[in-house]
A and B are shown apart, each in its own frame.
Chain A
């Protein structure tokens, strides 16, 4: 889904609400008017909230209205949109997904080349230890794709221009904040390193990381309870061992992870459209 498309739909829906406000203000409803006013104000806020926090909104609605989704024959997504359930041979199997972000881990480093070897060695050792300590079935997946070089470079240059502008504004201020200047300069250095690596011929690589956690039980509730425990353990283990930002996947993200178990979108464009 294109970001611009989504923003346009948010704006159209807000205009729809403006029409409702117009209708409200053209009617003299007394106490009913106040109730409608509060309700419409809440909806005005709820639309952008849905756009940014869809992983909270969808499970909220499906849970309230008791909607169970069947994404494929023999599978169902729970009302909370947090797990996929399968019933086979008298046993309920539950699969939950956690997403991992390496943003904090590598990309935010000021000088990615600094002590690169040491980090490589440590990172994989921790990975092996983490995997050995997990006592339940788990699948850790990385989807890698080559990004469009021109677009990736343009994106970085735009970011760099923005931070350059922020730096000049901060430096021209009557009371420049030294910490803020230092912070902005660090961000510019990180972007410079990325741009230099790209200039040296390194292809920009996009990476998506997630883990599938499996649990089972003789009832649906038992399977979900076991899954909850397993996911908590996996989150702590992977998060601590690999210094990753790990979070559980819900709603659309969960459905995508369920699909990625056997289909990987064959192009960056299709992957973007799904995410």
Chain B
């Protein structure tokens, strides 16, 4: 019997016991006690179903006795090669491979025939795998931290040159030119800061399971390489496997929304 079933029957059993206790000792129990016991029996009958329906919450609540209940441990980790994401649910290991579809053409620019063909190809691609497969389109902010700091550096250089020129009482034309340069870098920086750049990624996720990490990873790699070949042949585009850094950029909020871009906003 599964733990959730055991929990369900235990709580329901307690409810029955309370009800039958009231029935059996109805002549000996004071009214207020009977009121409380029937009330409790009702709550337990409901909680039995609640614990079955939301077993993960009920079990955590009972075992942890805290309002902050932990229902999972480490979210995931990576295989030594860094290209397969691994997680453990119950006693089973799951390995996920992320594939990127390199499609750069805009749908709107295609002719009507090309559009119909494109959709038909995608329909075939969706049905090309026997296993469940996830197709995702991600719109993420591009992390422009390095680019912005390079522009900032240029601005600082221009500012120091301008200050130096003013201090040395250089020619008016020279000071004007340096003032213009400072203004230019300032404008560029303001313009970049105004809107975050966005990037669109098309990714495919396929997962396989195994009794141990190695088996799950091997299964996932086999299935994903077949899927990559199929997708590449059907869609006529390059399909590549993502590495650890790229996978994180598809699932972690701080990579999808880099802090540099957030602070700028």
Contact = CB atoms under 8 A, between A and B. Distances in A.
Interface of A: 6, 9-10, 12-14, 16-17, 19-20, 22-24, 26-30, 32-33, 35-36, 39-40, 43, 46-47, 50-51, 54, 58, 61-62, 65-76, 86, 88-91, 93-95, 117, 120-121, 123-125, 127-129, 131, 134, 137-146, 203, 205, 207, 214-216, 251-252, 260-268, 271
Interface string B22-59: 11001001011011011101111110111011100100
Given A214-B253, A262-B85, A27 B57 contact: no
B134 A141 contact: yes
Given A24-B38, A88-B254, A93-B253, A6 B53 contact: yes
19 contacts: A16-B45, A20-B42, A27-B26, A27-B29, A27-B31, A27-B34, A29-B31, A32-B32, A50-B46, A50-B49, A51-B53, A72-B75, A93-B257, A117-B116, A139-B139, A140-B136, A144-B126, A262-B247, A265-B132
Contacts of B130: 146
A131 B39 contact: no
B241 interface: no
Given A9-B49, A72-B73, A139 B138 contact: yes
B177 to A, nearest CB: 38
Given A20-B42, A93-B253, 11 more contacts: A20-B18, A23-B18, A29-B35, A46-B46, A50-B46, A141-B135, A141-B137, A144-B127, A144-B132, A203-B127, A214-B256
Contacts of A35: 35
Interface centre among A20, A141, A271 (most CB of B within 10 A): A20
Contacts of B73: 72-73
Nearest to B137: A140
B140 interface: yes
B3 to A, nearest CB: 14
A146 B16 contact: no
A139 to B, nearest CB: 5
Contacts of B118: 124
Nearest to B208: A266
Given A86-B253, A267-B131, A121 B112 contact: yes
B53 A73 contact: no
Task: Please provide the 8 A-B residue pairs with the shortest distance between their CB atoms, ordered closest to farther.
Answer: A16-B45, A72-B75, A93-B253, A145-B132, A19-B19, A32-B35, A23-B22, A13-B49
B12 A12 contact: yes
Contacts of B251: 261-262
A224 B112 CA distance: 42
Contacts of B12: 12-13, 16
Interface stretch (B63-71, B145-153, B184-192): B63-71
Nearest to A123: B119
A120 B120 CA distance: 9
B87 interface: yes
Nearest to B89: A263
Nearest to B13: A16
Given A17-B42, A43-B45, A120 B116 contact: yes
B107 A128 contact: yes
B75 to A, nearest CB: 4
Contacts of B234: none
Contact of B42 (A40, A65, A264): A40
